[in-house]
Amino acid sequence: MADLEGLLLEWYEHRGRDLPWRKTSDPYAVLVSEIMLQQTQVERVVPRYLHWLERWPTAASLAAAPLGEVIREWQGLGYNRRAVSLHRAAQHVTASGWPENLTELPGVGRYTADAIARFALQHDVLPVDTNVRRVAERTGWAFGPASAHALMDLGATVCRARVPRCAVCPLATGCPSRGRRYEPLRKQSRFEGSFRQKRAAVLRLVAEGERPVAELDGEAVAALVRDGLVRLDGELVSLP
Ligand code: ADE
C-alpha cells in the first residue's frame, strides 16, 4: 500500500500555507485563531488575528479588557457572539487556568478543543474539521495527528468540495475517489435580507455610539441583549 501520509507530509513541506498561528504553541493564540476560523475565511482572519494579538497578547490582557472594546474589535469578522465567548474563555483561563476538558470553555466544541490540544499542547489527537473529514472520507485513509495542518491545506486548496484538483494531488495515485465530482454543498444561508444581517447592522450602529432603542430594530436589539452583545438601559442601547 502506498504511504499516503508520507506523500501528504512531503507535499505539505512545499505547498503548505504559511499561516501565522502555525508559528506558535501558545494555547491562547491558538484559541484566538481557531475561534476566528470557525466561521470566517483564512485570508480574512490572518490580518485580524495578528492585530488582535498585538492588542491583547495574553488571555489575562483580553480578560481585563471591557467587553464593549472586544466586541468593537470583532466588527467585520461576523458571528459576533464569538467575541463574547472568547472574552469569557479568557476570563475563565485567567481565573482558573486551562481546564483539563477544553470544551468547558465557552465557544469551544469538540473540534476547537482538539485543535488547541494538537497545535498548542502537542497532544496525539487529530482535530477533524470539514476539510480533514473530506480528505479522510475520499481517500479512505486513517491519517494521524501529525497530518492535521497538511489535511486542512490539502482540503482547502486541492481536495476541494465539488471539483477536486486530482491532477495536482499528491494522494491521487492511491485514491479510490480520484476523478470524482460532487454535488454542490448545502448553500450557506443567505446573509442578504436575513435576521443575522439586521443584528449585525444594529450592532455596528451601537458600536459607533449608544442609540435610543426607538431608532433600532426591536427584535434585533432583543436578540443582541440576550447574547450579551448590547445592553439596554432604559431607552438607550449601548455596548456592554
Ligand atoms: N481552519 C481551522 N483551523 C485552521 C488552521 N489551524 N489552519 C488552517 N485553516 C484552519
Those residues with Cβ within 8 angstroms of residue 145's Cβ, 6 or more apart along the chain or in another chain: 118, 123, 124, 125, 126
Q: Which CATH code of 3.30.1540.10, 2.102.10.10, 1.10.1670.10, 3.40.605.10 fits the domain covering 1-15+123-187?
A: 1.10.1670.10
* Confidence bin at 203 (pLDDT 50/70/90): very high
* Confidence bin at 76 (pLDDT 50/70/90): very high
* CB of 114 shorter than 6 A to ligand 1: no
Task: Tell me, in angstroms, the distance from the centre of ligand 1 to residue 34's CA.
Answer: 7
Confidence at residue 224, expressed as pLDDT on a 0 to 100 scale? 98
Q: Domain segments of the chain: what residues?
A: 1-15+123-187, 26-119, 195-238
Cell numbers found for residue 123: 497532544
Q: Which carries the bigger pLDDT value, residue 57 or residue 189?
A: 57
Q: Could you identify the atom of ligand 1 that is nearest to the CA of residue 17?
A: 8
Which of 52-56, 175-179, 189-193, 214-218 bottoms out in mean pLDDT, i.e. has the lowest? Answer: 189-193
Report, as an integer, the average pLDDT of 42-64.
98
* CB of 232 shorter than 6 A to ligand 1: no
* CB of 5 shorter than 6 A to ligand 1: no
* Confidence bin at 2 (pLDDT 50/70/90): low
Q: Tell me which residue has its CA closest to atom 8 in ligand 1.
A: 152
CATH architecture of 26-119: Orthogonal Bundle (1.10)
pLDDT, mean over the chain: 95
Task: Establish whether 34 is a catalytic residue.
Answer: yes
Q: Could you identify the atom of ligand 1 that is nearest to the CA of residue 153?
A: 8
Task: Tell me, in angstroms, the distance from the centre of ligand 1 to residue 117's CA.
Answer: 14
Q: In terms of Cα–Cα distance, which of 87, 84, 88, 74 is closest to 204?
A: 74
Q: Best substitution site from 111, 118, 129, 160 to test ligand 1's pocket, by max atoms within 8 Å of Cβ? A: 129
25 and 120 in contact (C-beta within 8 Å)?
yes
pTM over 0.85: yes
Confidence at residue 1, expressed as pLDDT on a 0 to 100 scale? 42
User: Any alpha helices (H) in the chain, and if so which ranges?
Assistant: 4-15, 27-37, 42-55, 59-64, 67-74, 81-96, 110-119, 130-139, 148-157, 195-208, 218-226
Which listed residue (10, 34, 54, 69) is catalytic? 34
Q: Could you identify the atom of ligand 1 that is nearest to the CA of residue 131?
A: 1
Task: Tell me, in angstroms, the distance from the centre of ligand 1 to residue 237's CA.
Answer: 35
pLDDT tens-digit map of 170-200: 999 989 999 999 987 766 678 888 999 999 9
Identify any residues that bridge with 232 across adjacent strands, giving them in sequence order: 237
Report, as an integer, the average pLDDT of 78-106.
97
Which of 23-27, 88-92, 96-100, 190-194 bottoms out in mean pLDDT, i.e. has the lowest? Answer: 190-194
Counting residues of the chain whose pLDDT is more than 90, the rounded percentage is: 91
* CB of 151 shorter than 6 A to ligand 1: no
